[in-house]
Amino acid sequence: NAGVTQTPKFQVLKTGQSMTLQCAQDMNHNSMYWYRQDPGMGLRLIYYSASEGTTDKGEVPNGYNVSRLNKREFSLRLESAAPSQTSVYFCASSEAPGKGYGYTFGSGTRLTVV
Amino acid sequence: QKEVEQNSGPLSVPEGAIASLNCTYSDRGSQSFFWYRQYSGKSPELIMFIYSNGDKEDGRFTAQLNKASQYVSLLIRDSQPSDSATYLCAVRGGTYKYIFGTGTRLKVLA
């Protein structure tokens, strides 16, 4: 069981470049999430998808876009990277968060914007 | 703004002792509470969840919830050096999402 798979694991971008972070889960979960984690700031929600076909903004959506491609895949796009987007990005999924199920996290993407 | 507060630590305990980690939350209507463990450089992993007042035990871990006082605790009995990690508290902040605290770093000294 792969769980939640994120690619790439590491990435260095120049300011202004764009990139897409990929996430796929094989647990048939309905809900998927993108978080960023910064020292002293904890995990902050960027976007989430409660179910296939829906996406919603989280706490820090500016500078990001998402696509829920199908039930398995949820991608995060940085259109014009900025140094403030240097962070560790985690994708997560949940079977039924409304019923109290927790998250399963991917291994993370370490992004540096120079 | 719904908030989840944790002491950042580090909390240092000797091997074999009980580690007590605390978390307070601001939304009185919160119903589901989670503890995640995160080793350095790794992703968070779910270790406990609780939704009823009182205690919930799982092996060496006990989660305690007090909704009236709006706090949730995690006790780790017989602490081991392998328990050294950052522990994140999460509270359901809406139907589909959770709000995380910044985490408490635990160091178990051999």
Answer whether B97 touches A (CB < 8 Å): yes
| A4 CB neighbour count, 10 Å cutoff | 23
pLDDT at B1 over 70: no
Q: Which amino acid is at A79?
A: E
Q: What is the mean pLDDT of residues A84-98?
A: 91
Q: pLDDT tens for residues B34-74?
A: 999 999 999 999 999 998 888 999 999 999 999 999 999 99
Q: What is the mean pLDDT of residues A39-43?
A: 87
Answer whether A69 touches B (CB < 8 Å): no
Task: Give the pLDDT score at B31.
Answer: 82
Answer whether A91 touches B (CB < 8 Å): no
Task: Give the pLDDT score at B2.
Answer: 66
Task: Give the pLDDT score at A1.
Answer: 63
- Contact list, A97 vs chain B (CB under 8 Å): 92, 95-98
- Contact criterion met (CB below 8 Å) for A5 and A27: no
pLDDT at A98 over 70: no
Answer whether A31 touches B (CB < 8 Å): yes
Q: What is the mean pLDDT of residues A84-111?
A: 91
Does residue A101 sit in helix, strand or coil? Answer: coil
pLDDT at A2 over 80: no
* Cα angle, residue A28 at apex, residues A27 and A30 outer, rounded to 5°: 120
> Which residue from B43, B95, B98 is facing A90, i.e. has the nearest CB?
B43
Q: What is the mean pLDDT of residues A82-99?
A: 91
Residue with tokens 């871990």: B61
Does residue B79 sit in helix, strand or coil? Answer: coil
C-beta atoms of A97 and B49 within 8 A? no
**Percent of chain A beyond pLDDT 70?**
96
Rounded to the nearest integer, the mean pLDDT of chain A is 94
Written as one string, the DSSP assignment of A41-85 is TEEEEEEEESSTT--EE-S--TTEEEEE-SSSBEEEEESS--GGG
Q: What's the order of all strands across the beta sheet hosting B71-76?
A: B4-5, B19-25, B71-76, B61-66, B54-58
- Contact criterion met (CB below 8 Å) for B27 and B94: no
Q: What is the mean pLDDT of residues B86-97?
A: 87
Task: Give the pLDDT score at A40.
Answer: 82
SS (H, E, C) B29-53: CCCCEEEEEECCCCCCEEEEEECCC
Q: What is the mean pLDDT of residues B3-28?
A: 94
User: Which of A96 and A12 is assigned the larger pLDDT?
Assistant: A12
pLDDT at A27 over 70: yes
